A = this chain, B = another copy of it.
């Protein structure tokens, strides 16, 4: 299995057994997470952009308006970024308050922004992004016009310095606490897609597409 090199920045020093450097694991988390946060610093002052994103191969993509302050800031400074994406899988309910925890899968990436100027790469990234947000959607909608493409700024980040941190399973209590009369276990959490709500201005006679009704 292909792995990321462990660097000073990506080494998991706290609870190192939760650290995962396998590319497959990192990429699966990125492909499931709908938002990431992109952090960058200006004169040591940190900023964050919460944003949708997608991954293709070894690159992570975010897009925004060419008028976006933060996108332009990243485009101009090309400063180093730290990107994180986190999935919360459950609350870990131990017998002691101290051993309560969270089951989660998170990824941290250190990279730099690159402005994508290649039209094929721009088109592909937006298609993959749309398909991630709503599988099946891209084929169904009006595609961007030349003017809309021009208004879209796409940034890519090479994923070369990255790590995941994962906790799974039941609580781990101190030996003597297993005899306490306290319920223990996990409460799973899941981001679920609920039944769709039609646009009040939906044109009459348009049926719900199969990719949304299944």
Contact = CB atoms under 8 A, between A and B. Distances in A.
Interface in A110-163: 110, 126, 130, 133-134, 137-138, 140-145, 148, 152
A184 B202 contact: yes
A182 B140 contact: yes
Interface string A83-102: 11010101101111110101
Contacts of A28: none
Copies of this chain present in the complex amount to 2
Interface residues of A, number: 94
A152 B93 CA distance: 18
A173 B48 CA distance: 28
Contacts of A207: 183
Contact of A189 (B106, B141, B192): B192
Contacts of A182: 140-142, 206
Interface of A: 9, 13-14, 34-35, 37, 39-48, 50, 52, 64-65, 67-70, 79-84, 86, 88, 90-91, 93-98, 100, 102, 104, 106, 108, 110, 126, 130, 133-134, 137-138, 140-145, 148, 152, 170-171, 177-203, 206-209, 212
13 contacts: A14-B70, A34-B102, A35-B88, A39-B47, A50-B84, A50-B86, A93-B137, A94-B141, A100-B134, A182-B206, A183-B208, A184-B202, A192-B192
